[in-house]
Amino acid sequence: MPIGNNNTMRNCILSILAIGSITLASGQVHSGLDTAAQAISTSCYEARYLLALAEIFEGEADDIQRSLTALQTASRAYDLAAALAREKTTKIGRKALSLLSQQRYDDATEGAKAAAATKQQAAQHLRQRAGRILGMRQAKITAVTNTKSATGGGDGAWPEASTVKADITTTLKTVASTNCSIADLDDGDGPKKKDIKHTTIYKVKLLADRHFDANTISIHAVVKGTGFANSWQDSSDQKGVLVSGTSPARTNFWGAKINDIENTDTPEDKDLFEDGNK
């Protein structure tokens, strides 16, 4: 399944709920969150938690497969031993053990395979959301820095020329400007894999879906000459805006700047059983 709009908070919550081992255990975890989830304060930490939880689910699925393989191997071993036995009673005994092992395998197969498949699917959804978060961190704009016009003075003053020109330089900062390490999920800051107790949680911390949307960039362009009715004091003495006169400029100014961008990187508590998005 590709990473995209289908990989929402709802899918993430439903994937965790699909694991049959989840139980409500009052008092076992603080406010419904395990120790690892309590450490989630950024989108990076959410990604670390989701990847660690995915590894746990994958490990549990592998354990189920190994248990099935062990039962099947035991049945075949008893079959072989029965075939090689010389004594009739030994042959009968080993055949009985073979049938018992095969019965255990048959009884466990359907439910166990379904459980393993569910855990694998849940892990896939969690990995996809983590990948979406890490991709978002590369592109999500968190801060804007406007540089004063190169054609003006060091204080942004109006240049002494017949033509007024404002060359604006803007630097955009993304979330990825801060390092997000996922190499060792039991090392570093933030949630640790060893602290995840997924059988006792009933809440998770997830970044709201709206924060994955692209930023809206707005440009504040201003021009004012003598005689203009209003003084745009929010534009005076701003980087990227050339001014004539003392600050705040009340006579002439010209230029443009990109407005500040608001963006949150803080996941929110989501109740697995009461979330309205389900």
Do the domain assignments include residue 156?
A: no
Residue 14 identity (one-letter amino acid) = L
Interacting residues of 96 by C-beta distance below 8 A, sequence separation 6+? none
pTM: 0.71
Write the pLDDT tens digit of every residue in 164-214.
666 777 888 888 878 888 889 998 888 999 999 888 888 888 988 888 888
Residue 203 in domain: yes
Look at residue 76 and tell me if it is in a domain. Answer: yes
Asked whether residue 107 is domain-assigned, the answer is yes
- 248: nearest Cα among 262, 237, 239: 237
Whether 131 has a pLDDT exceeding 50, the answer reads: yes
Is 2 part of a structural domain of the chain? Answer: no
Residue 233: its pLDDT value, please?
A: 46
Domain count, the chain: 1
Instruction: Indicate the range of 12-26, 37-51, 56-70, 179-193 predicted with least confidence.
Output: 12-26
For 113, half-sphere exposure in the C-beta direction (CA atoms, 13 angstrom radius) is 7
In a domain, 168, yes or no: no
Q: What is the pLDDT of residues 255-278, one digit of tens each?
A: 777 888 877 788 888 877 664 444
Task: Answer whether residue 220 is part of any domain.
Answer: no
**Higher local confidence (pLDDT), 257 or 130:** 130
Q: pLDDT for 74-116, tens place per residue? A: 777 767 766 776 777 777 777 777 777 777 777 777 788 888 8
| Domain assignment of residue 47, given as a range | 9-139+180-214+267-271
**Is 115 within the bounds of a domain?**
yes
Which residue, among 150, 139, 148, 226, has the nearest Cα to 176 in the 3D structure?
Answer: 139
